[in-house]
Amino acid sequence: MNDKTFEWSFTALSIIAVLWMIAGSIFTALGIFGSIILGLVVWIVGGGTLLYFWGKDYMSRI
């Protein structure tokens, strides 16, 4: 995964997580706190996964 792919993937993940939290708070499908907590968990786990694969690729280039 090159740097631009990581950058765009993390940006898209952040936008999706924030939109999930906002939409969940407005429509209260899972409750306000449930949707915010789930959005944060997806953001942290997804970001960590992206960082892991980007880091593996970066270290293999050295």
Q: Confidence class of residue 51 from pLDDT cuts 50, 70 and 90?
A: very high
Q: What is the pTM of this model?
A: 0.78
CA dihedral 17, 22, 26, 31 (to 10 degrees): 50
Q: CA–CA separation, 27 vs 24, rounded Å?
A: 5
For residue 62, the model assigns a pLDDT of 72
* Spans of all domains in the chain: 3-61
Helix 32-61 / helix 3-27 crossing angle, nearest 10 deg: 180
40 band by pLDDT with thresholds 50, 70 and 90 = very high
pLDDT at residue 12 greater than cutoff 90? yes
Q: Is the pLDDT at 48 greater than 90, yes or no?
A: yes
Structure-model confidence comparison of residues 3 and 17, the more confident one: 17
